[in-house]
Amino acid sequence: MIKDAIIDSGIWIASRIEGTENKKSEFILKAFSENKINKIYITNYILLESVNFLLRKKHFDIALEIYNYLTNTDRIEVVYVDDSMSIRIKELFEKYKDLSVTDCSMIVLAEDYDIKYLFSFDSDFEKIRSFIRKETF
């Protein structure tokens, strides 16, 4: 069992869009529903990125569904980026020029909450040694 994990927006998006990564995302979310992942943490940046992408590429109902799921599920905690997190995010953004601000928010979240697992399809995270990136469960 994984106690705590961060799940990147790509996983949430892939769970609602047909494609090669859809099955992987389904396995991850199934593991969560079966309590193999105890708690999921996301930043509000992940929430925004996921919902806005689905709003643009799919339609409102799917975007609202993921919004409600991420904000109303007991074992998912949305961490809102504050001033101190923003300072660290900016430092990382300047250091890792190929990572997005949202990506950097996940690194800070992992550091602040001592989270060892990140579920993400983004291989750019391989250079970050503070957690283990997984693409499936």
Query: In this structure, are residues 50 and 66 in contact, taking their beta carbons and an 8 Å threshold?
Result: yes
pLDDT for 71 beyond 90: yes
User: Where does residue 24 rank: exposed (0-12), middle (13-18), buried (19+ CB within 10 A)?
Assistant: buried
Query: In this structure, are residues 7 and 119 in contact, taking their beta carbons and an 8 Å threshold?
Result: yes
pLDDT for 19 beyond 90: no
Only one residue has tokens 């509000």, namely 44
Here the CATH number for the domain that contains residue 48 is 3.40.50.1010
Q: What is the pLDDT of residues 89-110, one digit of tens each?
A: 999 999 999 999 999 999 999 9
> Kind and range of the H or E element at 117?
strand 117-119
Domain count within the chain: 1
Residue 38's region, left for phi above 0, alpha for psi from -120 to 50, else beta, is: alpha
| Angle of helix 44-57 versus helix 101-113 axis, rounded to 10 | 140
Q: Residue 123's domain spans which residues?
A: 2-134
Question: Which pLDDT score, from 0 to 100, does residue 129 have?
Answer: 85
Beta bridge partners of 79: 43
Query: In this structure, are residues 126 and 14 in contact, taking their beta carbons and an 8 Å threshold?
Result: no
The structure's pTM equals 0.93
